[in-house]
């Protein structure tokens, strides 16, 4: 999870990163399978998948026009 914050902390405030993380986890609870899916929270887009261990793997987050490769399990 620290990797998730490390990659996004220069582009987003901590409160937005926490809100996005919570949203991605809830979003992925509704999705089944290990196939990456894209989602959107307000002006932010992301791609995530469920891991074999039940965790959520975030592949990238888009802030404005910038797509940030995260590749972190949260």
pLDDT digits (tens, 9 = 90+) for 6-62: 889 999 999 999 999 999 999 998 876 788 999 999 999 999 998 878 789 999 999
Query: Could you read off the pLDDT of 49-72 as tens digits, one per residue?
Result: 988 787 899 999 999 999 999 989
pTM for the model = 0.84
User: Whole-angstrom Cα distance, residue 12 to residue 21?
Assistant: 12
66, 14 contact by CB (below 8 A): no
């Amino acid at each position: 999870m620290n990797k998730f914050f490390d990659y996004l902390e220069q582009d987003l405030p901590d409160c937005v990163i926490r809100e996005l993380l919570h949203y991605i986890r809830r979003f992925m609870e509704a999705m089944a399978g290990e196939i990456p899916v894209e989602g959107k929270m307000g002006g932010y887009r992301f791609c995530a998948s469920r891991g074999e261990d039940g965790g959520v793997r975030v592949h990238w987050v888009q802030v404005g026009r910038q797509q940030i490769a995260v590749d972190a399990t949260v």
